[in-house]
Amino acid sequence: MKLNERGLLIVLSGPSGVGKGTVRKALFEMDGHDLVYSISMTTRPPREGEIDGVDYYFVSKAEFERRIKDGELLEYAQFVGNYYGTPKDKVDEQIALGKEVVLEIEVNGALQVREKAPDGVFIFIAPPNKGALHRRLQRRGTEAPEKIQARMDKAEMEFPLAHKYDYIVVNDEVMNAADRIMAIIRAEHAKTERSIYKYNEILEVK
């Protein structure tokens, strides 16, 4: 029996190339029933085949900037002239339905979310070591050596920020990492601060 009936905001973050997306997919394969992937909002036009509310929430620049002004985004960034961000109301809707909302995001965005949603569960995905991260970036085969080095330099600045997260999970093997994250989610639901209200209700039932 799960005493905490509300869902959780699960923030998966870490340096580029650490395998956040792969771990997140493995997590969904383990238990896709209560997990939902956070859909981003953007001002860029939909590409062929993209569906509003499935791939992204597509809005105008004016609407996005209104949301920024009114504090309705958990985080946002601007890239190549377009805004991208996480709408707070959509996340809250799913959490109220008892869903675990998984947000896969870069470190800078995760720290923005931490300010807006301090009750979220923040998990830093780390590589087994720096050499492993460099090899993963090389294996992608999609970037020049200088781009890979730029990502490694950025990772060097992000590693020390792990202390701002609730948990650190080493992605030594994908399913092991996903297992640890699932254990974290279950443990978070059992936390007294999340379950005491329902527990007291049970005690009142004769």
The domain that contains 106 carries what CATH number?
3.40.50.300
d(CA 128, CA 3): 35
pLDDT at 205 over 80: no
* Host domain of residue 117: 9-38+99-204
Q: What is the dihedral of CA 111, 109, 112, 163, to 10 degrees?
A: 0
Structural domain count, the chain: 1
Least confident of 8-12, 191-195, 202-206: 202-206
Does residue 165 lie within any of the structural domains?
yes
End-to-end CA distance of the chain: 18
Does residue 124 lie within any of the structural domains?
yes
The whole model's pTM is what? 0.89
pLDDT for position 202: 84
Does residue 54 lie within any of the structural domains?
no
**Which of the four pLDDT bands, split at 50, 70 and 90, describes residue 121?**
very high
Does residue 90 lie within any of the structural domains?
no
* The pair of three-digit structure tokens given for residue 182, joined into one six-digit string: 């699932």
Helices 130-140, 145-158: inter-axial angle, 10-degree rounding: 140
pLDDT, tens only, 139-194:
877 778 898 999 899 999 999 999 999 999 999 999 999 999 999 999 999 999 88
